[in-house]
Amino acid sequence: MIYKIIATFGVLLLVSSLQAQSFEQFLTASLQKSPLLQSNTLSLKQADAKANMTTRYKNPTLSLEASNFSPDVGDSEAGFRAALSQPLRLWGVSGAREYLAEAQMQVTQADVKLSRASFVSRLSSLYSSYKRAVGAEALAQEELVIAKNIAAISKERYENGTIAKVRYIQAQLDVKRIQNELAQAKVNRTTAYYRLMGFRGLSEEVALDTDYAFSLSKESTIAKNAQIERSRAAAKSATANAELNTNKLEWVNLYGEFEQEPDQSIARVGVDIPLVVFNTKSQEKQIAKLEADRVELLTQNLQEQLNFKLRELENSIDTLSEVQKTSQELLASQKELLGMYEEGYKIANINLLELQTIKNQLIQTKENLLNITLKKELNIIEHNYLTGTYNE
């Protein structure tokens, strides 16, 4: 009787879920519309502009002069001077700057990839938590149905004089307790829902089904991990900066000028070469080299941390899968036992406390299964994030 009522309740939930959006659709829409991810496009444009700034040439300089020649005898005459100068970057420096611009662009690209992976991971985790909250509410509804059925049997037995009034009151109190728990479960489900919606950064509310089950990706290493890629890009940028600073001399100034005087014309061509005497960039070179070495060591450390974290997650997922399996087997036995005790309680062979104990054990097992499923899915999400599954 109890599970017929629960089955009817489940059918109603299924019908309502047909109107809801699947997680795949929800994720796709979120990735397309999220202001956070849309801002990544602007970041790439900014990085491209900065790369052009790194490799661009300096502007030429034009000088114009007018002269007035006033001899002691005779009329005054006019003259003029025009000069044009252009800073020229040395050949080796141009290559170093292009390498630095490329490395800086790769850092931004890695940041964009990391931002997307983090977004998908966080959204998936919030969805999994929401799904658990929905399951907890459904479980409270299920327990309430069972408790009401027990209370109805208790009322009938009390009216028939086969149990004391205190047992009937106990059954009624159990119903009220579960009603309070159901109200709290609804609050938790609402909170989880709005946290999920709020993270998207969009104003719309979307009805979601809770049927999606996360699965492990085929990737099993951190070779494509977004954090590692970002760290490697930073190391490359630091190395490129160090190479640029090995150039003591970056620019020379090429100039040409023409001067017209009353009795002669003068043309000049020359080059200004800075003398590297006091500023040899030795400190800049040393700092950049130390920074490159530091970033490389941090990357190695991050790789080892993530490798061990990946192993931890894989072992945890395997263990949780086994616990999930045994819990489901236990649940099947408890359902059968609850049905037997319910029938026994109707004919006065079972007392109320025994029946409620079996009911509470079944509900506890279902709650444990919800927690196990949540923890397993969160581990799967983190595993997929670490292996680079959410990068693109």
Q: Model confidence over 361-386: pLDDT tens digits? A: 999 999 999 999 999 999 999 999 99
Give the length of the chain.
392
**Is the predicted pLDDT of residue 280 greater than 80, yes or no?**
no
User: How crowded is residue 76: how many other Cβ atoms within 10 Å of its Cβ?
Assistant: 9
Amino acid at 219: E
pLDDT value of position 74: 65
pLDDT value of position 348: 67
Give Cα separations from 386 to 121, 174, 218 (angstroms): 10, 45, 12
Using pLDDT thresholds of 50, 70 and 90, give the confidence band for residue 72: low
d(CA 353, CA 119) in angstroms, rounded, equals: 49
Give Cα separations from 154 to 50, 163, 170, 173, 338 (angstroms): 77, 8, 9, 12, 16
pLDDT value of position 144: 95
392 located within any domain? no
CATH number at residue 31: 1.20.1600.10
Structure tokens at 105: 């662009």
391 located within any domain? no
pLDDT value of position 25: 93
363 located within any domain? yes
**Is the predicted pLDDT of residue 16 greater than 50, yes or no?**
no
pLDDT top residue among 45 and 13: 45
d(CA 20, CA 53) in angstroms, rounded, equals: 49
**Is the predicted pLDDT of residue 35 greater than 70, yes or no?**
yes
Using pLDDT thresholds of 50, 70 and 90, give the confidence band for residue 295: confident
335 located within any domain? yes
Tell whether the torsion through CA atoms of 192, 197, 198 and 204 is positive or negative. Answer: negative
- Residues 222-276 have pLDDT tens digits of 989 999 999 888 888 888 887 777 777 778 889 999 998 878 888 999 998 888 7
**Is the predicted pLDDT of residue 17 greater than 50, yes or no?**
no
Instruction: Give the domain extent around 233.
Output: 2-69+77-386
**Is the predicted pLDDT of residue 325 greater than 80, yes or no?**
yes
**Is the predicted pLDDT of residue 316 greater than 90, yes or no?**
yes
CB 121 within 8 A of CB 381: yes
Q: Summarize the confidence of residues 94-115 as an average pLDDT.
A: 86
Domain count, the chain: 1
To which residue do tokens 């999220």 refer? 34
d(CA 321, CA 163) in angstroms, rounded, equals: 44
- Residues 151-204 have pLDDT tens digits of 998 898 888 888 889 988 999 999 999 999 999 999 999 999 999 999 998 888
Q: What percentage of the chain exceeds 70 in pLDDT?
A: 93
pLDDT value of position 257: 92
